[in-house]
Structures are given as structure tokens and as C-alpha cells.
Amino acid sequence: MNRIHRRALLSAASLPLLPIAARAQSDYPNRPVRIIVPFPPGQASDIITRLVADELSRRWPQRVVVENRAGGAGAPALEAGARAPADGYTLTAGTSGTLGVNPSVMQRVPYDAERDFAAISNVAMVPLLVIAHPSVPQHTMQALAAEARARPGALDMASAGPATSQHMAAELLMMRANIRFNIVHYRGSGPAIADVIAGNVKLMTDSVASSLPHIREGRVRAIALCSARRVPQLPDVPTIAETLVPGYATAGWTGLVAPTGTPADIIRRINTDVVAILREPAIANRILSMGAVPDPMTPEEYAAFIRNEIATFREVARAANVRLEG
């Protein structure tokens, strides 16, 4: 058999495979899809991810199930997501901590936040803010910063724990505003804000979701938002960027990623449906009621956003020497 004839036969033999591959992607999903969440049930990212999963299940011919894999600052869950087959049937809830912060604060990270994942869309931004006990005489971020400059390290600021989004927001604020607080770490936002309410610590960087009920009841006072823009839940509270540090912006967030190599048309299909869900008024209102803000993006926008978050938190981690074991 001559070379030309053999090449023709090989080409002909491969032709039926192309429609099969295309059909496998065009009828996606043809079996259940799982989303790995790196936290236990009940946390904000879990609740928001489950909301999106339920809505996708209504739109798709297959169920979307959430699998919680807590522990290890989310690293084991992200590793499992990165190593899953790149076929669109295993997605991961990527967050500000697991994708933005971990690469710079953990000595050994079992995944590459930039190379191992294909971005789909952010889902929700969890705005952060600086709050104070009602007895604090400073009512604005400018006044609080002036006091911190006059007495470096004398003002205690509660943190939900080392390398949390709340902690990193405070470190970024200190770095950009050239001020110094004494960070007091707690095991979670709940114990931290309880001490602020009691007046044992007078300041905290917390999430709107956690602090909003206490703000409305007058147990704590909102000073300024860490987010780039004001949020619907607290429309009269200014941002740090407005009042003290132009360009300052940080927040918690949760989105969806897939293993690198997932076909682009599957990424687009998931993105299209997730964005449509987040733009439904009923869904948007439910997310807002949780203290978060719907934040749909294109895959390209989300990938660029993740890269920027990694760069920002790398700078913060180095300047503040923030480290986590793992």
C-alpha cells in the first residue's frame, strides 16, 4: 500500500470520530454534574453555590449536585477539582481564599490557581467593611486613619482569622493608607464580632453578610466599605476608595471554575446559563438578602480578575508576612 493511499484510509477512518466528539459536547450535560465546594454546608459560598446548582438543575436535563470537601484551607478540595477530568462534569467553587489568597500564604499549595483551572464566571461578591463599637468616637475612615497614625498599633482590630478575606482586607488597608492597627485574630467571624459588640475590641473588618443585622440593630456602626462600589444593603455607607485611599478595593467572592482543558464550548454553555440565572431578579434578590451581590462575568473577565486578586494578595502577604501552614 503506497503512502498516499494509506494516508487517505487513515483520514477516512478518523472522519466518524469528529461528529461523535462534537455530539458529546453539544448534548452536554448528558449525566449529572458535580460542584466541589471547599467548605462545610451552611457557609456563604456553599449556600450561594447551592442556589446556582439548583437553578442549573431546573434548566438542564441532568442534576447538578454539590459536594462539600471542607478542611485544609480549601486546598484538598481545589486539588480534587484541578485533577478531575476536563470534561465539564466536575466544577469547583473557587473563592477569594482558595484562588486569591492561598497561593501566597501557604508554603505548599497542591494546585496552581492560574494554570490548573479554566475560569467560568464569578457568582457573587461578598462585600467587606470596617465596623466599630458605638463608643468609638471616630465616625469616618479619615478620622479613624488619623487616630491610627497618631497612635500606631494602639487600636485593636478584630479578624476572622489569619489569611481570611477580612484579615487580608485589613492588611491591604494598612499597607495602602500607611497606618497600623493591632490585628487580633479569632476563630471565625462570629466570635470576633461578638467581642466587638461587647466592646472588648472596638474595630473589625467583617463581611456585610455577618455584620448587617448588628448594624441595623445599632450594636455596631458601619465606618466604610472595602468594596469598589457602595452596596444596596448599605447605600449610605461610603467606600474606603471614596474617603481615604483612591483605588482601594477588596472583597470576598465565590465563583465557578473547571479543570484546565475543559472544552471551550462547554465553558461557554455553563457561563451563559450561570449569567442568565444571576440576572434573574428573584435570584439576585435572594443573593442580596444574604448580604452578597451577584457578580456575573465572562470567562475572560473572571480569569483576569483571578490573576489580579493573586497579584494583590501576593503583595499583601509579602508586606505583612502572612503565612498559613499547609
- With CA atoms as reference, report the closest residue to 207 among 320, 43, 92, 68: 43
Last residue of one domain, picked from the residues 243, 266, 284: 243
Q: What is the pLDDT of residue 22?
A: 46
- Residue 183 binned pLDDT confidence (cut-offs 50, 70, 90): very high
Pinpoint the alpha helices (H) of 60-188: 75-83, 102-105, 141-150, 165-177
Instruction: Give Cα separations from 213 to 129, 148, 292 (angstroms).
Output: 14, 27, 14
Residue that finishes a domain, picked among 217, 243, 269: 243
Residue 233 lies in a domain: yes
- Point out the domain boundary residue: 243, 262, 283: 243
C-alpha cell at 267: 465553558
pLDDT tens figures, 194-242: 999 999 999 999 999 999 999 999 999 999 999 999 999 999 999 999 9
- Strand pairing category for 90-95 and 33-37: parallel
Q: Are 299 and 121 in contact (CB under 8 A)?
A: yes
Whether residue 264 is predicted with pLDDT greater than 80 in this model: the reply is yes
Domain membership of residue 192 as a residue range: 127-243
**Whether residue 135 sits in one domain with residue 120:** no
239 SS3 class? strand
260 and 239 both lie in a single domain: no
Q: Examine the domain organization and report whether 272 and 286 are in the same domain.
A: yes
State how far the Cα of 48 lies from the Cα of 124, in Å rounded to an integer: 8
Same domain, 270 and 233: no
pLDDT for 53 beyond 80: yes
pTM of the model as a whole: 0.88
Q: Identify whether 20 is part of a domain.
A: no
| CB-based contact 257:80 (threshold 8 Å) | no
Q: Assess if residue 7 is contained within a domain.
A: no
Round to whole Å and give the CA distance between 179 and 215.
Answer: 25
Domain count, the chain: 2
- Packing angle, helices 299-320 and 165-177, rounded to 10: 70
